[in-house]
Structure 1
């Protein structure tokens, strides 16, 4: 029994010495005692590979490269002790989730967190940490007793008591039935001495800076059992400098502790092997040798001259940083002939970089292996299991059903899933409807479930409707069949075993194993070896998970909801650990895990402040202060912050000394959101050590103008093509670019394979996002030979011709969704007020005689009648929406009350409601001749037509109900953006004889907001002021004639300001100038202009104008709420895409443009 240390700084050849000694033993005695090389888990493959490459070996039977965990398995296979089922991380999470649910009400501190998603995983990590440090439930109990009873320790005491309770339950669940892998090393330490193989073995330990208490226990057992244990540690055996002592504090502590274990057990402590002198790794590179020796030493010894093979880079972003590294790796490979495996890329925080590295390296054609455990939460198989269970437990709601169908593991094509999804969304299908043996019925209806005409104008289903109905029903039966079978099995299951069997039957019925294997083969064929292994490993992991569920919880009775939560916790813990699928790859990893002793080039990225070295506060379940208190109570749980500072310093040293030939150190200047990032303290230290080091700045894209400035960006053809397009676009804009890009262009043009790929990309440089006019012969086919249009259609064209084309020619629309949206509320209010009017007439009542009680009674009846019709009873589908029904009722009641008040103060009374005008409707609509021949007919629906009679004439006004605030800007009328009120007024006046029994003069056109306003004020509103303030809140908005007599017909109480219309009278009885108050001549000129705009717009529609030309007026523009932005791809950055700028007009400017004399600007006189 002996212990020997192999000591040396980075690069002195410790690993090489270990390998050479093993090789020597193998050559001298191929069948001698075992030779064990103990290394970190992530280094086993590389170390074994290095040993296997040794020339001249007749065999490797004696040598074994093992991690601590694999050593445990070897010993257990010899001496026993691991026959019981093993509970992995997933099984532990599920077991702890059950314990937490059972103990939740007894926990002092964790009770609230016990039910939170992921807490069982957090708890599993804490228990793993406790076992790593050999802390038992009894030790926790002892620590609680040792804690001083102070306010500071109350929280810690509660934490320890909760942990002791949960830890005890967990151990009780394991006792005699299962083995926790976190106990492997504890068991190994106890049984290792029984192994006959290890009694004569020689052991080498390399790649560790320190060990956990569990690992120290194993090493102690090895010291007592093995012939000799050799431990390689990175430290300077001869330096007594304070800086070196601090740098190697972690490894010095490790050496001291191992030496103490040797002395304690009577193990001979051999003279150490001291690898002193200049490290061999840096023999050919003075700059890197200087960096290794002097980085942590003071005073600073500066390096003379520019350092070769050392690059310091500041990148604009992490993306620019990774792309720069990729280009440099390609350069090193091309110019120096280095293999991919000669290069390593390391970062402190892999989570910030792994996706970027995978994407960028693929773009540059660099094979790489990213050393990380892959989470599988979003893999289709995991999603299938989760969504299938949620479908059953959540009564077939939309989200889980279609997550299940979109996994591509269900025998329904994506096209069919899309069709089914559109139908389900449009009709609000959920729950028992999926199991309905009767066909679903496809029909067209509006938000109030009223049939709407099909393409032939009839409400009956068309042939297309019938075809879609039959197809949807075939798809839904195929989609739901396996889930319905699964639901029946789940409902019949009584135990976890039966629930798991039901789930496995679902996977078998869907042939998930076959589909996964098919995906794996496809990935292999395409060269995506990692993806192929991920698919296969995940299937194995899921099967193992289900086995563990049955093993640990098999005969327990759980509801499907409880089972789903436990299974979800288990799947959240599933991670894939892959080995490199190829030998020649760039290895990418985090500093803590990377073990690459034999590389030529190291790329150290992300050297930002607080990252490398890392900034540590308390992490995990215990704060640093709590760890100090526990240590004083005799309980060690993980390193404190002071030790972590030493560890971080050591990691910086390791990062900078990995490679012997080339070192790249870089940091990003900004994160993904554009937030500034500061460089780490490593960066100024490098500048201080190497005054001749030129710090480079990397932009994401090339920006050079001088010849050759952009040459570093010319690397992989695929990525270079993207840069070429960028630079040619700059050149097209008048920017001077590096001439190298013309050579690049010629290269692409000369290579046939790339020429085809290059052509469409470069064509985009000259692409103009314009739409030419339609063929004149095509417009009648698209719009019909007879042009009948609504006002909203004309307004949409005036906003953007392409939006009109998309909606009315291409028939594009957002998919229907059965939900309560603002347009549905508006439709409901229109229907409610129409029904209210009908009920009034049926009862022989007039608006001016309506009392408050009548409003309440009728509003209640109307809403009760209409609520079930809205969006397939959506208002009855939840307590929240039933509450909304009450609010809608109060809005209708309040609105009716105000309309009654209007009637009492006005001579204007409704003569018609919901007046449909246009061809084949209640009354004809306005028709205007077109410049090129033919005419345009307008169609629409006027919410209300009011008429007032005098001795000499009758006056007509139109009112349009709005569910939200709306006003009328006259310049919007001028530009054709708001034509509704003027067109409706004209339609009413043209058909006045039919509507009012006589010809009428125009009085005005208004918006009436349907609402239940909240009266604002700092103090309660006096009762006497409520009614007047309500009237003002409901004041009509729009156009009114400046005739005092007419205004008094609208409001018999009008004074300086009307509570009913947007007008007022001066003291002399004349009308105040206000926005919306117009003279008869002005109104007539506006109507003439509207007729002209309607005709011009219709003529442009007929002429096939489909230009992508959205308007912008102030802050408003046509694109803000447009549903067709993905179709038109309007981009203001393109020269061909510009907004039509519309200038806001004053009233004076407007009347001048319409040929009338300017007047004083309206105001509140």
Structure 2
């Protein structure tokens, strides 16, 4: 029994000395006593590879590279302490999840947090910490009692909860399972009985300190093993045998040496003379004086600056994190190409892994750099995990849309994506969920085109339904069986797990994942292949742990899903490097690569390296300090971690033997400024001749442009940006023309190069399609509606996408504004027809009559709207009542209009066009094409006046609408005018004679709320309601005609947008003369014919309009298709200027429109 320390600062060869001594013993006696190299878990693979790769050594039986846990497993195998089942971390977390629910009412501090995502992981980590620091339920309970007496109730509550949960966990596992956190305790108990430990010589390396649990193991090993060699990073020339001073660089390692010496002395263990590796220049930095000087003097405040060459150290700033990673990737590529580095000679070290991990994976792939990210990956986004979670959620949420289609889109269900899309569209269109999935009867829902359509199935409907039901059976058969099985009664964990595993078997999930893994291997993606295989193995293991730990526990599906979620959230994949020659990417605290020539330390920002103290977890910093004062030892608090961070900085700076790269970003992804770490300032202070390099996102057009030319793929991206600059008339460096010439020679054989070059000539603009194609897609004759013309006048490209390519949103069963509008239109049409059928006049209808008729009609229409959506929930049933009240209000107001005026309906929802009550309006375009205008007019009213019959148009609007002369002039809002024009054109069919224009009006279908100050007279309230629903529009400026609409008008009318006094119409009243109406009609005809002519010619220009602050693109559904962007030369808005009405009337006569390009 003896103890020896191997001491030295970074780079002095401590690890090499350990490995060399093991190699020497192996060469001398390959079959002697055991040689154990005890290292941190993340370093085991690296050091095994180092030993196995020793030239001339061959195989080895004696030497083993182990972590503490692996040593525990080895000892327990020898001594029989492994008889009980070992529950994994996942099983432990799932038990904790169940214990939190079982003891919910007993918890004091954790009751509110117990159900929050991630709390189980936090609790498991804290309980593991308690085990590592040898805290028992009794010690925690005792600490809680003492703290409560001192008035620290909150901290006492936390200790009580931890004591309760730790004791409950121990009781649950007692006699059946071994807690993984007890491995080291068991190792301490059994190590002395182990033949391997008694005969072994140990080398311990890679640790700065140990937990109390590990010290207990080391105490037994020192008393039992032949010899223990401990390598520590500290200055061996300092021979003090006293506790370290707070804040010194090697505080933790010196504290470790002090503890081990005292333990050895107490047990009477001899200490050999320490092996001190203290040469003038550490071997690692022998050829790099700057790195040696940095190692020795970074924390020496009295050090003098070093002048001269600093090629071994580079300080880099970058515009953002991506520019920083790209700069590192370019330098790594250069080192391997120009300086003959191997990929394995390079490591990337991160302190802020979450900000860089995904970015490095993307950029290094772009630069074709082989890399391995040394970090355990979670698996929450793997399709298998999503399948499990969504299958359970389907049951819990009664087959609602989201979990069903998350389940189907995992690609683990034997159904094609096209069938899933078809099924999804059908389910969304008809609002299918719940028991409808479980019914055996085929689905026969169809979506009516209108509320008046009958439910007869067409051949196309039958064909679609056949495909949908076939897809439904493929998608849901296995899931239905699973849902019925787990929903029948409250089952045990074992039973639910069995149903879930059977679901996977019926879906063929094991075979599908194996297939994915094989394909990944064939495509040269070994890491992806291992990931698929490992996920399946981990999930299978998770099921085993569930059954072993909670098998006979009764649970609801909801409880089971929460427990399983806890396990799935804790799943981490620890992949081994798929090849030997690759760049290692690791976090600073996990980085254990002994043979690194170049080390790239990224993200050296303020608050990142060194990191700010962050307590996290269950205890706050003051609470940890309080626990220390009462003798409850726990993990170090923030103050101690600040000193540990200094040591991590030292480790980062001393990792490489040839080149150190320190870089930081100047801004984050949102453009917020970031500051460099004090580490950067200190390095610059030590090396005043060191020049910092700045890298922008793109080549800046300076001498460093050549550094951006590396791998062809990434260089091509930079070249494309440069060629766009040249295309815009800006000068670029000659080097880029050389690069361009090189790529031109490759374009014929490389599709990507050809695609990029063709993209440089791309214009985001389509001006026209050939007229013959236009006729094919639009048909002959050209049939148009008013809304179609308005869309064409708003943007010709949007018109093409809608009416040419017929793009549209997929139908979804939801009550949107258009659906409510259609409902109101159908209700008012039915109401008018009911009034006519019953031989009533609108003026005869009182409020009660309107309410009765409205109730009947709404009751008839409700089941017809979107597969009975208004009956599908309490919320929709309440909305249905509101719709009925709105119809009652609207019909009562229209009845009041009839009582005050003489206009009466002569047409309701009147369709003009093929098969309509009125024929289409025919125009012959300039090229001879016949254009037919068709549409549906909400309401046409007529009255006989002194000089003829007058017609007026009323258009129902469930939103706000007003007449706008500018919009009419530019063809953007011509619906009312067109409908009045059509009504006058076919007046003989409507009223038996020619007619005159009386007006065109919008009627708002609303149930307004009137603000009052206390009780109000019903008559006054009715008056205010009428004013709120006053129609808007344009009327004939004839007092007699106006009085036929409101015979009681005096001043401002309560029902029409007119104010009339003794001297005629008030100023700004929206009235026009017959001649002006005729000017409007003439201009309308020109707009219609011009629009039709352009459509036939194939005009599809992206020409959205802008009027003031309104841009047509703001609400366009086709933005993802057209990619209209005003930053591009080809994309400009048409500016519609605001003009006075008088100017518009003048220009209307002149036939000119006022539009400009932006």
User: What TM-score do you get using the length of structure 1 for normalisation?
Assistant: 0.95
Structure 1 range deviating more: 533-542 or 1056-1065: 1056-1065
Q: After TM superposition, give the deviation of residue 937 of structure 1 in Å.
A: 2.0
Distance 1:753 1:105, change over 3 A: farther
- The structure 2 residue matched to 1:378, chosen from 377, 381, 385, is 381
Q: Tell me the residue number matched to 1:478.
A: 474
**Bigger Cα displacement from structure 2, 658-667 vs 279-288:** 279-288
- Give the alignment partner of residue 648 of structure 2, picking from 647, 651, 660: 651
Change (3 A) 1:237 1:1025: farther
Provide the residue aligned with 1:334 in structure 2: 337
Are 1:176 and 2:175 counterparts?
Answer: yes
Q: How far does residue 669 in structure 1 lie from its aligned partner after superposition?
A: 1.3
Match of 1:801 among 796, 799, 807: 796
Q: Structure 1 stretch 404-413 or stretch 932-941: which is displaced more?
A: 932-941
The equivalent of 1:661 in structure 2 is 658
Trace 1:452-491 onto structure 2 (pairs within 5 A). Answer: 461-462=458-459, 464-491=460-487
Q: Is contact 2:768-2:1100 (8 Å) kept? A: yes
Report what 1:167 is aligned to. Answer: 166
Deviation at 1:406, TM superposition (A): 1.3
Match of 1:255 among 257, 261, 264: 257
| Residue of structure 1 aligned with 2:1089, choices 1079, 1086, 1095 | 1095
1:710-751 per-position Cα deviation (integer Å, ceiling 9, x unaligned): 100100111111111111111111111111111111222234
- Aligned residues of 1:962 and 1:1007 also touching (Cα < 8 A): yes
Q: What's the CA shift for 1:216? A: 1.6
Q: How does 1:692-707 map to 2 (within 5 A)?
A: 692-704=689-701, 706=702
**Counterpart among 1105, 1108, 1117 of residue 1111 in structure 1:** 1105
What's 1:394 paired with?
Answer: 397
Question: Aligned residue for 1:810?
Answer: 805
Q: Does 1:1126 align with 2:1123?
A: no
TM-superposed deviation, 1:899: 2.7
2:385–2:568 contact (8 Å) kept in structure 1: yes
Per the TM alignment, residue 763 of structure 1 is displaced from its structure 2 partner at its CA by 1.0
CA contact (8 A) 2:747 2:754 kept: no
1:269 to 271, 278, 281: 271
What is the CA deviation profile of residues 34-89 of structure 1, one whole-angstrom value per residue up to 9, with x for unaligned ones? 11111111111111111122223254211111011111111111112122222222
Give the structure 1 partner of residue 616 of structure 2: 619
Structure 1 residue 359, shift from structure 2 partner: 0.8
Q: Is the 8 A contact 2:145 2:156 kept in 1?
A: no
Among 898, 909, 912, the alignment partner of 1:914 is 909
Q: Helix, strand or coil for the counterpart of 2:586?
A: strand
Identify the residue that residue 90 of structure 1 maps to in structure 2: 90
SS, match of residue 774 in structure 1? coil
Residues 1055-1111 of structure 1 deviation map (CA, whole Å, 9 limit, x = unaligned): 44333223323562333224x433332222122111110111111122222223222
* Structure 2 partner of 1:500: 497
Q: Secondary structure at the match of 2:721?
A: helix
* Cα deviation code 1:121-172 (max 9, x no counterpart): 3322222222222222111101111104466x22222222222222221111
SS at match of 1:599: coil
Query: Contact 1:1063 / 1:1072 at 8 angstroms: preserved in 2?
Result: no
Matched, 1:543 2:537: no
Aligned to 2:512: 515
The 3 A distance-change label for structure 1 pair 165 and 878 is farther
SS in 1 for 2:1126: coil
What is the RMSD computed on CA atoms of the aligned residues?
2.4
SS at 1:311 equivalent: strand
Q: CA deviation at 1:376?
A: 0.6
Equivalent residue for 2:418? 415
Q: Which residue of 1 aligns with 2:931?
A: 936
1:243–1:298 CA contact under 8 A, matched in 2: no
8 Å contact 1:443–1:461 — kept in the other structure? no
Q: For residue 309 of structure 1, what is the aligned residue in structure 2?
A: 312
Please, which moves more after superposition, 295-304 or 645-654? 295-304
Asked whether the 8 Å contact 1:340–1:585 carries over to 2, the reply is yes
Deviates more, 1:392-401 or 1:11-20: 392-401
**Equivalent residue number for residue 441 of structure 1:** 444
Q: What is aligned with 1:1162?
A: none
Measure the CA separation in 1 of the matches of 2:66 and 2:117: 36
Number of aligned residue pairs: give it.
1147
Q: Which moved more, 1:334-343 or 1:14-23?
A: 14-23
Instruction: Give CA-to-partner distance per residue, 1:921-952, whole Å, 9 cap, x none.
Output: 12224332322224322211111222333343
**TM value normalised by structure 2:** 0.95
- CA shift for structure 1 position 1031: 2.3
CA spacing shift, 1:753–1:957, aligned 2, 3 Å: closer
Relative distance call for 1:43 and 1:824 in structure 2 (3 A) is: same
Residue correspondence of structure 1 range 782-861 to structure 2 within 5 A: 782-861=777-856
Q: Secondary structure at the match of 1:247?
A: coil
How many angstroms apart in 1 are the aligned matches of 2:110 and 2:25?
A: 55
Q: Take 2:743 and 2:1105, find their aligned partners in 1: how far apart are those partners?
A: 41
Deviation of 1:227 (Å): 1.8
Q: 2:952 matched to 1:949? A: no
TM-aligned CA distance change 1:192 to 1:733, over 3 Å = same
Distance (Å, rounded) in 1 between the aligned partners of 2:608 and 2:452? 60
User: Counterparts of 1:819 and 1:21 in 2: how far apart (Å)?
Assistant: 75
- For 2:18, the equivalent position in structure 1 comes to 18
How far apart are the structure 1 equivalents of 2:1104 and 2:1036?
33
- 2-side partners of 1:368 and 1:518: how far apart? 25
Aligned equivalents of 1:722, 1:449: Cα separation in 2: 57
Kept in 1, the 8 Å contact 2:904–2:941? The answer is: yes
Rounded to whole Å, the distance in 2 between the matches of 1:816 and 1:957 is 35
The equivalent residue for 1:226 is 225
Shift of 1:1148: 2.9
Show CA shifts across 1:561-596 (max 9, x none): 222222222111111111111111100011111112
* Cα gap change, 1:895 to 1:597, in 2 (>3 Å): same
Match of 1:33 in 2: 33
CA 653–44 in structure 1, closer or farther in 2 if over 3 Å, else same = same
2:626 is equivalent to residue 629 of structure 1: yes
Residue 758 (structure 2) aligns with: 763
Kindly provide the CA deviation profile for residues 8-51 of structure 1, in whole angstroms up to 9, marking residues without a partner as x.
11111111111111112222222222111111111111111111
- Cα offset, 1:1016, TM superposition: 5.0
Task: For residue 1040 of structure 1, give the secondary structure of its aligned residue in structure 2.
Answer: strand
Q: Aligned in 2, Cα 1:1019/1:715: closer, same or farther, shift over 3 Å? A: farther
Match of 1:1163 in 2: none
Alignment partners' CA distance in 2, 1:82 and 1:716: 54
